[in-house]
Amino acid sequence: KAGVTQTPRYLIKTRGQQVTLSCSPISGHRSVSWYQQTPGQGLQFLFEYFSETQRNKGNFPGRFSGRQFSNSRSEMNVSTLELGDSALYLCASSLGSGRLADTQYFGPGTRLTVL
């Protein structure tokens, strides 16, 4: 089975621009979660989607948004980029039943640099 894939792997943007990141979960997985990883704040939960519905959301401004398609692929969008948005963005997929046995599998991440 193919693992979680994220595209692009690297992105360089300037302040004020917007960006869209993509995540393809493992086949059969219906849940996709997004995390932001920075040296200062560590790993922070952005949001989780299950069957095209946002199931939970972290404490991030409205500039951060996401969606999930019927094939479970997910995108996250960041508008009006700020320098502080520079980070590694990780997505993780799971079956989504909420049980412990549902291991979350992480993708390699998208490294976003905002200049």
Partner 1 sequence: AQTVTQSQPEMSVQEAETVTLSCTYDTSESDYYLFWYKQPPSRQMILVIRQEAYKQQNATENRFSVNFQKAAKSFSLKISDSQLGDAAMYFCAYRSAMNRDDKIIFGKGTRLHILP
98 lies in the site for partner 1, by CB under 8 A: yes
92 lies in the site for partner 1, by CB under 8 A: yes
* 83 vs 100: CA distance, rounded Å: 36
Beta bridge pairs of residue 46: none
22 lies in the site for partner 1, by CB under 8 A: no
Peptide bond into 8 cis (omega under 30): yes
- Residue 83 phi/psi, 5-degree rounding, is -55, -35
Query: Which residue has tokens 């979680």?
Result: 4
40 or 62, CB closer to partner 1?
40
- Residue 32 phi/psi, 5-degree rounding, is -130, 125
Stretch that binds partner 1, among 11-19, 20-28, 68-76, 91-99 (CB under 8 A): 91-99
33 lies in the site for partner 1, by CB under 8 A: yes
Residues that bind partner 1 (CB under 8 A): 3, 31, 33, 35, 42-45, 48, 50, 55-56, 58, 90, 92, 94, 96-98, 100, 102-104, 106-109
